[in-house]
Amino acid sequence: MKELIQKIESRRAIVGIIGLGYVGLPLMVRFAEERFNVLGFDIDSQKVDLLNDGKSYIRSVPRDQIRDLVRRGIFAATSDYTRLAEVDCILICVPTPLTEKMEPDLVYIENTAHQVTENMKRGQLIVLESTTYPGTTEEILLPKFQARGWREGEDFFLAYSPERQDPGNREYTTKSIPKVVAGITQNCRKVAKLLYQQVIDEVVVVSSTRAAEMTKLLENIYRSVNIALVNELKILADRMGIDIWEVIEAASTKPFGYFPFDPGPGMGGHCIPIDPFYLSWKAKEFDFTTRFIELSGEINISMPYYVVSKAIDALNAKKKSIRGARIVILGVAYKRDIDDIRESPAMAIMKLLQDKGAKIAYNDPHVPKLHPTRKYTFTMSSKSLTEALLRKADLVMIITDHSQYDYRWIVDNASLVVDTRNATRGIRSARGKIIKA
């Protein structure tokens, strides 16, 4: 332990990051910025090759930054997990998706744990950062490492520190977002805290890995429930002839007891649509039903259907059938000004529209191509956003309110607009031309 602490404090510790996606890659950059040598691991050989060539596949991580780190020899990527023995600290940032039955799919964590067990050396710190249910660190990782006959807190150090990335957020970065940390033992907690203190402005220590795992779930459940609430009120307000956006703006003037959440076409990203169900699944082990989680999930999952119904009504009012209608989707990323389409409601909306016979095209300045995923089989490319494209469309749907879009120009050139993000607020048009959904 003393040797590892000295290596961390002197920046001689080599940090290994498993999973070089939206969490792992920014974390790698942060450690490299503080003069740590970093070795990245990923099963995707294409990502590894791109990184070693000094290229980035994530918009928020500039290519020049990767190229500079590779050129200086501070960072390298590999798919060879035997090289885990070369590093002093292992940070696990792999995906934690859901199965088709909405149950936790821990295959990435389990496979990674196997690789670490096969290649770890004495004295290493291993930290799980993937979002998961309370007990994962103790129940899945710890027994595998103990099976080698090694003692936690002495022969190896195991901790949990949930990722808190917010892609596209320029105000809060990896460095400035407080880091929650917990260890299996006091020594584990001490080493993990020390490591993150070298690269993060504030480290928040909690008593157990279960508490740390629960912390991340609470954060995401809080957002999921409140987004579901405002989405449900949006549907009610629409039936009552009330502008929910006006209501939210007025309510936001209250200086206490209220925090605004915006409604939308559904939820996206790898966290909020997925993580709450990890706790919902685990709760059943304790004969407990998480009713708020289940209800908010139902509401948020249903929002693409509501949006499509509004599109059908808007077309009907113009004496146009959904079948054969030419529809242009603006924005397929799950939120503004990013290139991430994971769990994006745009995918569900496009699939529903296609199933009803609509002819779909999309534009997104950050997503040039769509590739098949586990749920969807789109193989489309972004169309150039031109006056001709808008004028030819029977309907233009604003799904993601990217800041690059000129909404005044879009409204002027489209015959009918369905706006799911209130992006056209303040823009006047002919009666019935803009439909809020």
Q: How far is CA 90 from the centre of its chain?
A: 22
Question: What digits encode the pLDDT tens for the residues 383-419?
Answer: 999 999 999 999 999 999 999 999 999 999 999 999 9
Q: By the 8 A CB rule, do 116 and 83 touch?
A: no
Q: In terms of DSSP H, where are the helices of 241-290?
A: 244-251, 275-283
The rounded distance, in Å, linking the Cα atoms of 424 and 31 is 41
Give 376-379 contacts, CB < 8 A, sequence gap 24+: 376/347, 376/350, 376/351, 378/347, 378/350
Query: How buried is residue 288: exposed, middle or buried, by Cβ count under 10 Å (0-12/13-18/19+)?
Result: exposed
The rounded distance, in Å, linking the Cα atoms of 187 and 157 is 7
93 is catalytic: no
Q: How many CA atoms lie within 13 A of 264 on its CB side?
A: 23
Is residue 171 predicted with pLDDT exceeding 90? no
Beta bridge partners of 205: 181
DSSP state letter for 385: -
Mean pLDDT of the 344-361 span: 97
Judging by DSSP bridges, how do beta strands 179-183 and 157-160 pair with one another?
antiparallel
**HEC string for 395-418:** EEEECCCCCCCCHHHHHHHCCCEE
Question: What digits encode the pLDDT tens for the residues 160-170?
Answer: 999 998 877 78
Q: By the 8 A CB rule, do 141 and 158 touch?
A: yes
Average pLDDT over the chain reads: 95
Q: How far is CA 282 from the centre of its chain?
A: 21
Nearest to 25 by CA among 141, 165, 137: 165
Question: What digits encode the pLDDT tens for the residues 110-146?
Answer: 999 999 999 999 999 999 999 999 999 999 999 999 9
- In the chain, what are the domains? 2-207 (3.40.50.720), 226-436 (3.40.50.720)
Beta bridge partners of 328: 361, 396
| List 89, 93, 188, 271, catalytic entry | 271
Task: Provide the b/e sequence for 149-159 (b: ≥16 CB within 10 Å).
Answer: eeebbebbbbb
The rounded distance, in Å, linking the Cα atoms of 341 and 263 is 18
Is residue 429 predicted with pLDDT exceeding 80? no
Task: Kindly state the helix (H) or strand (E) to which residue 87 belongs, with its residue range.
Answer: none
The rounded distance, in Å, linking the Cα atoms of 193 and 210 is 16
**What's the predicted TM-score (pTM) here?**
0.92
Tokens at 148, concatenated: 């080698």
Is residue 219 predicted with pLDDT exceeding 70? yes
Neighbours of 85 (CB within 10 A): 12
DSSP state letter for 362: E
Mean pLDDT of the 312-328 span: 96
pLDDT, position 44: 95
